[in-house]
Structure 1
């Protein structure tokens, strides 16, 4: 399937999948800034934001595109942080942002400059604690990437966010994704693509491997590739998600392989790449705040890509309250079972690092499942016991109690983690 590029000059239409994606990304960036700018001793935070397929900045309906969303989020965050810090007696914080905007069409870049100019002027005049340096490129992303990387390195930016909202999957090489994550101390990527193009590529490059991945779902590569975007069957979503995860799991420690939820079917994927477990925690939390924006087909506990053909009607997870209730039930058994793989204790930090690439669950649901489980206890560094989910810290220790109501479960070594 060939995806048509957006025509910004004649007025781009904001599709529903893009609206959902913009909301998730915008709220995540706001949360990202909140987490990274909360230390009382901080007086400055530096980051680079790269929009690799920036577009013209504003849609036909007047809604902002991703470059304007990033700037609006930076403005709101900078002002909110400093009002709060002033009220709490802390020093002000300056945010420095290198904003790199690329689009292969020179006319689109000129339109983008026009749409961004008023907001840049507003920041300069009215938001003195926010310092934005826009840089523009007019190349195909893979052509522009070496110069973009060099620009970031020359400025010594280590906090880097890439937004790669492409058409199809051919515009960004998988090795480039890995290079971004590996090149900076704190790098994260939002990566959008259409599933049909990925399936077509894999079917041509390694059809046997693709067939093996699809076989548990009863779906053939031909069926998946010829859906014309209308992926309405849950099993097909599960097959596609497994393909996506396997294709990209080596790019970063944490890969979020969830599709953009669309009533007409699962056609587009929005993947979040990060090496930090905290980043994956916060991303999962944002998805739950935007229930039904993205979709997962599989388990909602600690083995999200496990597939049970007998439970196909109950395995669609759209990050809503129904899904969260189901997740809590699965987490009740999954967490103790995970701990036994290490013995009877594990540090909370190590526990988080070990589970978050395999769960869509909200951080509070995971912590609640720990506190509510009669067979688990959370021990603080000084030997005390945690009794509330929101007090658990990464420096704590998880321990299975000596008297276990579920002990026979662990005696059965042949039981499968489904």
Structure 2
């Protein structure tokens, strides 16, 4: 994960750069997600082989000095290789007939000394035999090789499953036209870092300056009138975050997004963004956010604790000119309680506004990118609504469920408030 900062330089014979504390947690999330990805796709024990491509668009040198420890720790290339190796080992515990992950790796690094360092580390590692066959190295910028990597994914197999890890340092190195192409032409997921702090500082100087966002193909998704309105009202930071989050989701062409705010003790704040086409992928990632948020300071969510709005068109909606931006959401125990409480109020209201009923799968698809909740918190909120008879959960056979934990994707959520008034 290469950065334009001297402490993140790699050179053969020189001291390793030190990994920041927040990056350690980010690495844990990525490693856990890769293992969970394999677990989910291989849940059916009869599947013997998973063809998968993993792309690291900003690979760096592959090794760091650990934060606050006198030891070496893995960078993203080795993190990826070891996570897939561990996931395959877990698949085969207690089995006679082996199951395999047929993985191919593309490590892209534009700085030649960094790539030379990575190549040397790979040659010295247990993965040396994969160089040239399963591990491919590129001394270019990500946008220069993205099209060729996408073509390779398409050629490998019909499933075209891939995970792109794009840990850029700022926000300029990954045009969203490329991400849109990834989603339109392969069955991929994208894990992206996006330095919104530098971008919002740049835009704050002149909120009509569209050039920076035009360069990464996001300008057309921004409500520039809204930005000007909120800047005048002293709510610039809230508005730009809301607009950028919406632009990333719309510009990527993905159906679902998880967004995590990362605040290092020093330096710029950035987002860890996961983009996917399926709710289950989004749900797995959000679950990992809840799992790891308390292991490192500075991991937060700012857009809302229940169901929030992205790309809010205040200038086009009569009588609605402001937004209630809530307090910082830190994924702690109190935040969990607030999230469930807010959802227990907002989900019945949503159903009432959507002609009374919808399948559970439709609910999660509709609100998946608009809440910090995972399925666990959503079902806890539904339990409250079931208990007070605001909602009924109807099965395909016409029965009802009393436990939200038993809700299936096809179960119908039906608003039941009229019965209370009766």
The question of a shared fold, defined as TM-score above 0.5 by the shorter chain, is answered with yes
Instruction: For residues 270-319 of structure 1, give each alpha carbon's deviation from its aligned partner in whole angstroms, at most 9, with x where no partner exists.
Output: 1111111111111111100012553111321122658999976x621122
1:329 maps to 2:341: yes
1:245 maps to 2:245: yes
Are 2:227 and 2:240, in contact at CA under 8 Å, matched by a contact in 1?
Answer: no
TM-score normalised per structure 1: 0.82
Aligned counterpart for 1:212 among listed residues 209, 214, 226: 226
- How far apart are residue 188 of structure 1 and its match? 0.8
2:152 and 2:335 mapped to 1: Cα distance?
A: 43
Counterpart of 1:80 in structure 2 is: 90
Q: How do 1:153-164 and structure 2 match up within 5 A?
A: 153-156=154-157, 158-164=160-166
Counterpart of 2:216 in structure 1 is: none
Instruction: For residues 23-80 of structure 1, give each alpha carbon's deviation from its aligned partner in whole angstroms, at most 9, with x where no partner exists.
Output: 1111111211111111022111111000000011111341101111111111211111
Q: Secondary structure at the match of 2:65?
A: coil
Counterpart of 2:104 in structure 1 is: 98
What is the Cα-based RMSD across aligned positions, in Å? 3.0
Q: How do 1:300-339 and structure 2 match up within 5 A?
A: 300-303=305-308, 315-339=327-351
Q: Secondary structure at the match of 1:48?
A: strand
- How far apart are residue 249 of structure 1 and its match? 2.0
Q: Secondary structure at the match of 1:382?
A: coil
| Runs of 5+ consecutive residues of structure 2 not aligned to the other structure | 67-71, 213-221, 313-319
Q: 1:121 to 1:299 in 2, by over 3 A?
A: closer
Counterpart of 2:315 in structure 1 is: none
Aligned counterpart for 1:285 among listed residues 270, 287, 301: 287
2:267 and 2:328 mapped to 1: Cα distance?
A: 13
Q: 1:114 to 1:361 in 2, by over 3 A?
A: same
Q: How do 1:152-301 and structure 2 match up within 5 A?
A: 152-156=153-157, 158-184=160-186, 186-199=187-200, 202=203, 203=207, 204-205=209-210, 209-210=223-224, 212-213=226-227, 215-216=229-230, 238-250=238-250, 251=252, 252-263=254-265, 267-292=269-294, 294-301=299-306
| Runs of 5+ consecutive residues of structure 1 not aligned to the other structure | 125-131, 221-234, 409-418
1:25 and 1:122 mapped to 2: Cα distance?
A: 23
Q: Secondary structure at the match of 1:92?
A: coil
1:376 maps to 2:386: no
Q: Secondary structure at the match of 2:401?
A: coil
Are 1:20 and 1:260, in contact at CA under 8 Å, matched by a contact in 2?
Answer: no
Q: Secondary structure at the match of 2:53?
A: strand
Counterpart of 1:53 in structure 2 is: 58
2:138 and 2:43 mapped to 1: Cα distance?
A: 33
2:303 and 2:57 mapped to 1: Cα distance?
A: 31
Kindly tell me the number of residue pairs found equivalent between the two proteins. Answer: 379
Q: 1:385 to 1:123 in 2, by over 3 A?
A: farther
- How far apart are residue 263 of structure 1 and its match? 4.8
Counterpart of 1:229 in structure 2 is: none
Instruction: For residues 362-410 of structure 1, give each alpha carbon's deviation from its aligned partner in whole angstroms, at most 9, with x where no partner exists.
Output: 21110111122121122222223223333221121111226544x69xx
1:154 and 1:311 mapped to 2: Cα distance?
A: 48
TM-score normalised per structure 2: 0.81
Are 2:162 and 2:188, in contact at CA under 8 Å, matched by a contact in 1?
Answer: yes
1:390 and 1:117 mapped to 2: Cα distance?
A: 49
- How far apart are residue 259 of structure 1 and its match? 1.6
Q: 1:153 to 1:311 in 2, by over 3 A?
A: closer
Q: Secondary structure at the match of 1:324?
A: helix
Counterpart of 1:346 in structure 2 is: 358
Aligned counterpart for 2:377 among listed residues 339, 357, 365: 365
1:339 and 1:238 mapped to 2: Cα distance?
A: 27
Q: 1:266 to 1:137 in 2, by over 3 A?
A: closer
